[in-house]
Amino acid sequence: MNMKTKIPAIVLLLLTLPLVTACEEGEVIETIGNKTITTSDFENFYSTAIEQFVMKSGVDKASLFVWMCDPTKLPIEELRPGIRELRPESIFKSYHDVVIVEQVALSEGFDEDPLIKEILEQNRRQVLAQLYIQHELNRKIKITEEEKLELCQTLRERRPDVIGPLPLDTCKMIAEGELKKRYFFNETPNIINEIREKVQVQKNENFDLDEFLENGMQMYQDIKKEGGCDPTETGASGDGADDGIAPVDAETINSP
């Protein structure tokens, strides 16, 4: 196995979720350790990869399929390598390598480590939340033909060398993608607020959350101690005494 092979992010993201392949249908492709990979297994995995790409990117399937068949039809050249990675041969090579590593990790009991279990669960929870938010965004977005045409014209004026020569349908497709991106950016906080309203949260009024977050967690106490931000350990008085270090403001940090 060539470990220098670049594994597409879509494969790594999918593999943070359990690989559910209980149905041993289809022809056997290969057996890696204790895992038998069948044609049905990989077809299911590949279909999920494409669906997830569509869900997360917001691109419509018709456009994606055209670009996958001929990446040169994608006007933005720097995005073409990512589209090529969605072809079955690329996904399978990456999937194959990741399953090899997975089998070694399982054989060594790596997944039984409490920390690894917690990381996997956190990843599962985070991916589920992200996918649900994306689902809600895609469900509610509405883009009119007028909006696409208007932005298409604007893009042609800004990039006459790249967008100008493109057919109208292609220009509108690019405009739709840009409109979706703007919608997702602007509406994500609103979607999250709507989701919050669906769940009843009962806070313990007798619990001091601020005190817990600042002083109640052992890991954070160790961080403060080792990092030098705990006044009791660093000797800092906290009264504004001059320690010889000039204050640095955000503008200084962000300047080149």
Nearest alpha-carbon partner for 9 in 48, 41, 53, 45: 53
Q: How confident is the model at residue 245 (pLDDT cuts 50, 70, 90)?
A: very low
pLDDT for residue 8: 53
Averaged pLDDT for residues 153-182: 89
If asked whether residues 82 and 51 sit together in one domain, one would say yes
If asked whether residues 113 and 149 sit together in one domain, one would say no
Nearest alpha-carbon partner for 17 in 119, 155, 127: 127
Distance CA 227, CA 2 (A): 39
If asked whether residues 34 and 93 sit together in one domain, one would say yes
| 3-state DSSP helix/strand/coil % of the chain, to nearest 5 | 65, 5, 30
Range among 15-29, 85-99, 229-243 rated most confident: 85-99
If asked whether residues 14 and 119 sit together in one domain, one would say yes
Cα Rg, the chain, nearest whole Å: 25
Q: How confident is the model at residue 109 (pLDDT cuts 50, 70, 90)?
A: very high
pLDDT for residue 46: 95
Q: How confident is the model at residue 232 (pLDDT cuts 50, 70, 90)?
A: low
Per the domain annotation, does 133 fall within a domain? no
If asked whether residues 75 and 168 sit together in one domain, one would say no
Per the domain annotation, does 46 fall within a domain? yes
User: What is the count of structural domains for the chain?
Assistant: 2
Extract the tokens encoding 15. 């593999």
Could you tell me which residue, 59 or 114, shows the higher pLDDT?
A: 114
If asked whether residues 2 and 79 sit together in one domain, one would say yes
Per the domain annotation, does 237 fall within a domain? no
Extract the tokens encoding 249. 């403001």
If asked whether residues 51 and 74 sit together in one domain, one would say yes
Q: Is the pLDDT of residue 33 over 70?
A: yes
Q: Is the pLDDT of residue 167 over 50?
A: yes
CB atoms within 10 A of CB 200: 5
pLDDT for residue 169: 87
Averaged pLDDT for residues 78-101: 93
Q: Is the pLDDT of residue 248 over 50?
A: no
Extract the tokens encoding 114. 């409490």
Range among 72-81, 116-125, 226-235 rated most confident: 116-125
pLDDT for residue 253: 36
pLDDT in tens, 122-132: 999 999 999 99
The pTM score is 0.69
Structural domain containing residue 15: 1-127
